[in-house]
Structure 1
Amino acid sequence: MRGGIPLPNGFSPSGHIAIITAPLAGHVNPVQVLARALEARGWRVSLVHMAAAEGLVTDPALGFSALPGGAAAMFDAYIDTLVEPTGPVRLTRMIRASAAMTGRLLDEAPAVLERTGVTAVLADAVEPAGPLIAQKLNLPYAVATTGLPLLGEPDVPPAFLGWRYRSDRWGRFRNRGGYAVTNLLMRPITRVVETRRRQWGFEEGAAPRVQVAQCPRGLDYPRRSLPSTFLYGSPWRSEESHEPDLPDDGPPLVFCSLGTLQGSRRALFATMAQACAAIGARAVIGHGGGLSRDEESALPGDPLVRAFWPQTAVLRRCSAAVLHGGFNTVLDALAAGVPIVALPIGFEQPATAARIVRLGAGQTLSPRRLSSRTLANALREVIDQPSYARAARGIAAEIAAGAGAPGAADAITAALATPA
């Protein structure tokens, strides 16, 4: 027994788990930490995707099996659609590109899994190909939820909309409309999955053995119909081996990040740096490789700038964070007890920002036409009003008590070890 999850007597896993996820750092980074914990329990673990995704794998605990088709151009086009995810035309392109990626996995991954001796599947909740591939090959599967839970129910808005929680009649009416529009927009992906399901002779999908999430319960909206297989958790992170090179005295520090996909927004980083300077703070900017050296040097307000910082260690030294609402960075900020000003750009970021506000751990502003003055006012409030840090520390305590990747690995191992 590890992390409170009992394993069958005498069970020692020796199978091969294939991870099917989105080929993005925000998904691959946490699942490869989970892969390390699964390897420690006796599993062999491999990510299965297009060859171009192999560069995202940085932990040797996670192997890689490439789909046979090259199609680097398709991969690059997919990434390009994610850089600007807002607006009806861009959103449509992104959904179509995601549908094509799902179709590619359905076409080619089953043969790869058979060839490499895969015995179980770990499917990221954002990629619908995983469960269907597992069903085709008659393999047990678990679901990894790296972001917000994608569990539709009447009181909870769709996980891509920044609506506040309302459990009254109006809230349910609004949510029904939200789900109807979401389902309509997602039809390109749904058609790919349903067409393949019919071709393979499946009327409906098999249920996962377990669904593990990074999300702590306290960050999500209240739920009335949570599946019995769903487990809230805490971030899947490795220990960072060194402390950041940051000044020990001087102005308070504010961590500023837009993740890896939106890290080229120089004007938004300039606004962050100006806002920090306006309140007597110093921005610590991580741009994910999106800025050139000249663009780094041109940022105002004397910020500390790098492509990447040891994020969890930096956040422990900061008084606040300005974030785009990417789920991993939000979790890291809350784990450090740091209040947040969220500037959601797309994907699930508005919904994550709405949960931060409901929690009382921060504020949210629109990044469009954002002024340094507006951001400075928000930063001053979340730093000066103790209630914001107190709310963040409340979630930090829940995260600290969680079992992280080891607990998720135990739950997956116990579930996959149990006969259907």
Structure 2
Amino acid sequence: MRKDFLFATWAGGGAVPPVLSVARALRERGHGVRVLADESLHEEVTAAGVEPVAWTTAPQGDVTDPAKDVIKDFEARTPLGALARLRDRIVCGPAADYARDTLAELRARPADVLVAEHMLLGALTGGEAAGIPVASLVTTIYPFPTPGAPPPGLGLAPASGALGRLRDRVLARLAVKPWGRGLPALNAARAAHGLPPVDSVVDAFDRVDRLLVLSPRALDHPGRRFPAHLRHVGPRLDDPAWARKPELPEGDAPLVLVGLSSSFMNQRTQLQRIADALGTLPVRGLLTTGPAVDPATVRAPGNVLVTAAAPHGVALRHAAVTITHAGHGTAVKSLAAGVPLVCVPLGRDQTEVARHVELAGAGITVSRNASPRTIARAVGRVLHEPSYRREARRLAAEIAAETATDRAVAELEALTGRNEGACGA
């Protein structure tokens, strides 16, 4: 039976393609789907075969243009400063605006389910106020503390023993503390729509009927325990609509695929160092700059082809190694193809993703300030030590099993049968 779904997302770089992948899948099953999104995303939304709807009062940005980026976390000097920008400019600060726009759209054209990218607490608030089932999509490894694992975001290995458990409890409290500054704005948004206050911002992320994690369970800590309403539904492996057919470098040397962020993270220096590193190795390099960096600004050695974009899913069929910032999308696509990684985290969730890749034995990490020589050594190690490819292929098999059916679509369709008038607390 046809149902109507309203999605809500924002110009969040790599978070956009997986959200639109779920929207597309629902549309292909005959459901009505529309997406509240920044106008900079409307072409991509349309390419997914669903209807775009513009925010009217909520912030609008374009992460491929530094001047139009809402968060501008590339200007932050510390990870804490970057988190504060996300909190104040997307998650909590404009929560009332996101809630107002979401509720207005639901009143104008009712939907059976609201599906929002998990950082849009304002949109989730609007869905809660409308009294319809609400789902959030987490497009990376689950980013909040849970029992049985170290606090996320710090790139820590699992601890053992009493001291390790104490470490995790202390750091978990510290990890959630910065969110507290956003609580007044979030509760003001809730009060404006007749909803009771919440005790913490982190608790608010759980005020949904389903929390769907679009990440492989096999990539997370095996002993981690999750909330009852959380489901790991597997990653989305679609390439973004703006990625063109790839042109591969000539020759038969091992192919190294390079992909840093699709949004601006001041990454041109890292791209140049990677190009220089590959120029010293007997490999072919396919370096994709993404829409935020002009390919002409990267000086390429003769064995490296530089292009703005290429569908990584296609290029990975030929690749031996991927060099990436450890954005979740690129990392998981590589692992799904059985390709090991050299990770160069630039910020955001990337240190955590890189750490999970390392713990799985499927890659290694170098600093964002690593020299071309250090990067070249890391590529050589991953190329020539068979354990990295073996573990990447192990994860590929687990990801294939996890994505054999579309669990995200099944969970969202199941929500349309709920009879409750309000979403869970």
Tell me which interval the TM-score lies in, with the shorter structure as reference length: 0.7 to 0.9
Q: What's the TM-score, normalizing by structure 1?
A: 0.87
Aligned-pair identity in percent equals 25
Alignment check: 8 A CA contact 1:339 1:389 kept: yes
Distance 1:28-1:62 versus aligned 2 partners, 3 A rule: farther
Which digits, 9 at most, give the CA deviation of each residue in 1:167-203, with x for residues without a partner? 4333333333333333222234333222323442325
Indicate the residue corresponding to 2:29 in structure 1.
41
**Would you say how many aligned residue pairs link Structure 1 and Structure 2?**
406
Structure 1 residues not aligned, in runs of 5+: 1-11
When residues 104 and 80 of structure 1 are mapped into structure 2, their CA distance, relative to the original with a 3 A threshold, is: same
Retained in 2: the 8 A contact 1:86–1:345?
A: no
Query: In the alignment, does 2:124 pair up with 1:131?
Result: yes
Identify which of 36, 51, 72 aligns with 1:81: 72
Structure 2 match to 1:27: 15
State how far apart, in whole Å, the 1-side matches of 2:250 and 2:396 are. Answer: 23
1:314 corresponding residue in structure 2? 315
CA distance in 1, matches of 2:359, 2:59: 43
Query: Aligned match of 2:3 in 9, 15, 18?
Result: 15
What is the CA-CA distance between 1:118 and the residue it aligns to?
2.2
- The 2-side partners of 1:375 and 1:177 are apart by 35
Q: C-alpha displacement at 1:86, in angstroms? A: 4.8
Q: Which string of whole-angstrom CA distances, capped at 9 and with x for unpartnered residues, describes residues 203-235 of structure 1?
A: 556853333222111101124432333222332
Which whole-Å CA distance do the structure 2 matches of 1:125 and 1:227 have between them?
15
Q: Equivalent residue for 1:67?
A: 55
Distance 1:268 1:116 in 2: 46
Residues in 2 aligned to 1:189 and 1:345: alpha-carbon distance in whole angstroms: 25
* Alpha carbons 1:20, 1:129 under 8 Å: kept: no
- For the Cα contact (< 8 Å) 2:260–2:325, is it kept in 1? yes
For 1:90 and 1:209, locate their aligned partners in 2 and report how far apart those are by CA, in whole Å: 29
Distance change (3 Å), C-alpha of 1:42 and 1:293: closer
* 1:83 CA drift (Å): 3.4
Decide whether the 8 Å contact of 1:236 with 1:405 is kept in 2.
Answer: no
Contact 1:32–1:61 (8 Å) recurs in 2:
no
Paired position in structure 2 for 1:6: none
Partner of 1:416: 416
- Find the counterpart in structure 1 of residue 234 from structure 2: 234
Aligned to 1:328, what secondary structure does the other structure show?
helix
Q: Given the two structures, how large is their TM-score scaled by the length of structure 2? A: 0.86
SS at match of 1:320: strand
- Does 1:156 pair with 2:158? no
CA distance in 2 between partners of 1:245 and 1:375 (Å): 24
More deviation, 52-61/31-40? 52-61
Contact 1:260 1:288 in 2 (8 A): yes
Specify the alignment match of 2:89 in structure 1.
97
Q: Secondary structure at the match of 2:225?
A: coil
Q: Is the 8 A contact 2:323 2:341 kept in 1?
A: yes
Moved more, 81-90 or 180-189: 81-90
What is the distance in 1 between the residues matched to 2:32 and 2:84? 37
Structural mapping, 1:170-319, within 5 Å: 170-199=163-192, 200-203=194-197, 207-238=207-238, 244-247=246-249, 249-262=251-264, 265-296=267-298, 298-300=299-301, 302-319=303-320
**Residue deviations 1:91-143 (CA, integer Å, cap 9, x gap):** 53343222334342023321122112222111222222233222111011122
CA contact (8 A) 2:256 2:319 kept: yes
| Deviation readout 1:283-334 (Å, 9 max, x if unpaired) | 21111123335314x2335311111111111112111111101001011100
CA contact (8 A) 2:8 2:123 kept: yes
Residue pair 1:120, 1:141 contacting (<8 A) in 2 also: yes
Q: How large is the RMSD of aligned CA atoms in angstroms? A: 2.7
The one-letter amino acid paired with 1:202 is P
Residues 336 and 215 (structure 1 numbering): CA distance in 2 closer, same or farther, change over 3 Å? same
On the 8 A contact 2:239/2:312 being kept in 1, the answer is no
Structure 2 unaligned segments of length 5 or more: list them. Answer: 199-203, 421-425
Preserved CA contact (<8 Å) 1:360 1:388: yes
* Whole-angstrom distance in 2 between the partners of 1:133 and 1:331: 31
Q: CA contact under 8 A between 2:295 and 2:307: conserved in structure 1?
A: no
CA–CA distance in 1 between the matches of 2:58 and 2:382? Answer: 48
Which deviates more from structure 2 when the two are superposed, residues 341-350 or residues 91-100?
Answer: 91-100
Q: For residues 71 and 30 of structure 1, do their structure 2 counterparts lie closer, same or farther at Cα, with a shift above 3 Å needed?
A: closer
CA deviations 1:359-406 (Å, max 9, x no partner) are: 0000111102x1111111111111111111010001101111223683
2:423 alignment counterpart: none
Indicate how the Cα distance of structure 1 residues 58 and 322 shifts in structure 2: closer, same or farther if over 3 A, else same: farther
